[in-house]
Amino acid sequence: MDPYLVSVLSNIGMISFIALSAYLLLLTGEISFGQQAYFAISAYGSGIATAMWGWPFWAGLLWGATLAGLAATLVAIPTLRLRGLYFSIATLAFAEMVRLVFEIFTYQVEIDGELVGPDGSDGFRDIRYIYDSNVTAFEYMLVIYGLLALVLIGFFVLERARLGSVFRMIGEDPMLTEMQGLNATAYKVLAAAMAGVIAGIGGGLYAHLTTYVEPKIFNVMLGVHSLAYGLIGGLGTALGPLLGVGIDIGFLESIRAISGYRMIVFGGLVAVLLIIRPRGILDEATVHWLRRRWRRWIHAQD
C-alpha cells in the first residue's frame, strides 16, 4: 500500500478516537473543548510506560487509557454541575492547564547511555516500541482500525442499550430526564469517563505512531476540531464523527488547491452546516429514515 495513503488513513483512524470522544459528550448535550487533554495524558502515560518502564505496548496503551479515564472522571465530577457554557469553559481551561503542565513536565531516565523521557516543551522523543518491534506502518494501521472497530461496536451496542437512550434523553431535556427518576449528573459523569478512555486510546496510538509528542500539538485547535467532526458528520450515529474526520482529513487535506486555506474552508463548512443542519449530516432523523429504509429493504429480500 502507498505509504502516503497509509499515513493519511492512520491519521484519520487516530483522530477518529478523539472525535468519538467529543461526540459521546455531545450526545448528553455537553460541549467539551477539552478532550485533547485526555488524548495528551494517555500519549504521555503510555509513552512513559513503554519507553521508560519497558512495558509491552498493550499494557502501556491500557495504562494510558485508564489514566485518561480517571482524569476525565475527576474533572467531570465538579464541572458537570456547571451548566452549558460554564462546562465548556471549564473543559477548555482544564485542557490548557494540562498542556502547560506538560510544557514544564520533565521526567527522564538514562537508558543505554541516552536520556529518555518527557523534557518540558522539548517534548518526549523516542517512543520507539513499535519500531523496535518491527511492526510496519501498514500493520500498525491495522492495529488502529482494529481498535477503532471495537470502539464502534461498543457505540452500536450502546445505541441499542438503555444507556444510549438515557444519554440522548439527557442531551434533549435533562430536567425531564431527572423527572423520570434518572440521575442525569451521574450519567453524565459516566459518559465523561467513557469519553476520556476513548480519547486516551487515540492518544496512546498517536504517541507510538509518531514516536514523538510535544505539548503544543495538544492545543485548543485539536479540541475544537474534535468537536466539529461530530457536529459536521452528524449526531445521529457514531459514524457521524467519522464522516466528519473523513471530510476534513481525507477530503479537504488531500485537495492541494485549498491546502493553505483548509482551516478557512473547514470553518466555513462548520458555520454553514450549523445553520442548515444543526445536528450534522447524519442527524437523528436521517439515521432513523435510513434505518427504516434498510429494514424495509431487508424484508423485501426474503
Partner 1 sequence: MLELKVLSKHFGGVRAVDDLSLAVEKGQIFGLIGPNGSGKSTTVNLICGVFPVTSGRVLLDGKDITRAQPHQTLAAGIARTFQNIRLFGQLTVWQNLWVAQNGLEDRQRENFLRRWMSGNRRARESVEELLEFSGLADKRDALARNLAFGEQRRLELARALSAKPKLLLLDEPAAGMNLEEVGALDDRLRKIQDRGVTILLVEHVMDLVMGVTDRIAVLNFGKKIAEGTPAEIQDDPAVQEAYLGGAGGRRAAAAG
Instruction: Give the interface with partner 1 as residue ranges (CB under 8 A).
Output: 157, 161-163, 165-166, 168-169, 172-173, 175-176, 178-183, 284-285, 288, 292
In the chain, what's the furthest Cα-to-Cα distance? 69
HSE, side-chain direction, 13 A CA sphere, residue 265: 15
Whichever of 85 and 175 has its CB closer to partner 1, that residue is 175
Whichever of 163 and 274 has its CB closer to partner 1, that residue is 163
What is the DSSP code (8-state) at residue 191?
Answer: H
HSE, side-chain direction, 13 A CA sphere, residue 104: 5
What grid cell was written down for 74? 475527576
CB 117, CB 108: distance < 8 Å: yes
**What CA–CA distance (Å, rounded) separates 278 from 231?**
8
**CB of 158: closest distance to partner 1 in angstroms?**
9
Whichever of 175 and 300 has its CB closer to partner 1, that residue is 175
Residue entry with cell 474526520: 245
Whichever of 223 and 241 has its CB closer to partner 1, that residue is 241
Return the bridge partners of 106, or none. Answer: 119
**CB of 156: closest distance to partner 1 in angstroms?**
13
**CB of 163: closest distance to partner 1 in angstroms?**
6
Whichever of 175 and 271 has its CB closer to partner 1, that residue is 175
**CB of 296: closest distance to partner 1 in angstroms?**
11
Q: Residue type at 272?
A: V
**What CA–CA distance (Å, rounded) separates 126 from 47?**
9
Number of other CB atoms surrounding residue 216 within 10 Å = 11
**CB of 269: closest distance to partner 1 in angstroms?**
24
Whichever of 185 and 211 has its CB closer to partner 1, that residue is 185
Query: Positive or negative CA dihedral for 280, 265, 16, 225?
Result: negative
CB 231, CB 26: distance < 8 Å: yes
Query: Positive or negative CA dihedral for 226, 220, 51, 55?
Result: negative
**CB of 292: closest distance to partner 1 in angstroms?**
7
**CB of 82: closest distance to partner 1 in angstroms?**
19
**What CA–CA distance (Å, rounded) separates 99 from 38?**
10
Residue entry with cell 468519538: 20
Whichever of 168 and 277 has its CB closer to partner 1, that residue is 168
